[in-house]
Amino acid sequence: GAGVSQSPSNKVTEKGKDVELRCDPISGHTALYWYRQSLGQGLEFLIYFQGNSAPDKSGLPSDRFSAERTGGSVSTLTIQRTQQEDSAVYLCASSFAAGGPSYEQYFGPGTRLTVT
Partner 1 sequence: AQSVSQHNHHVILSEAASLELGCNYSYGGTVNLFWYVQYPGQHLQLLLKYFSGDPLVKGIKGFEAEFIKSKFSFNLRKPSVQWSDTAEYFCAVNAYTSGTYKYIFGTGTRLKVLA
Nearer of residues 51 and 109 to partner 1, judged by Cβ: 109
Rounded CA separation 91/107 (Å): 7
Residues forming contacts to partner 1 in the complex (CB under 8 A) are: 3, 31, 33, 35, 40-43, 45, 48, 50, 55-56, 91, 93, 98-105, 107-110
**Secondary structure, 3-state, 62-84:** CCCEEEEECCCCCEEEEECCCCH
CB of 32 to partner 1, least distance (A): 11
Nearer of residues 19 and 31 to partner 1, judged by Cβ: 31
Nearer of residues 4 and 82 to partner 1, judged by Cβ: 4
Nearer of residues 58 and 116 to partner 1, judged by Cβ: 58
CB of 110 to partner 1, least distance (A): 8
Q: Which one-letter amino acid corresponds to residue 100?
A: G
Q: Kindly list the distances between the CA atom of residue 21 and the CA atoms of 1, 7, 11, 56, 94, in Å, as whole numbers in the listed order.
A: 23, 6, 9, 19, 15
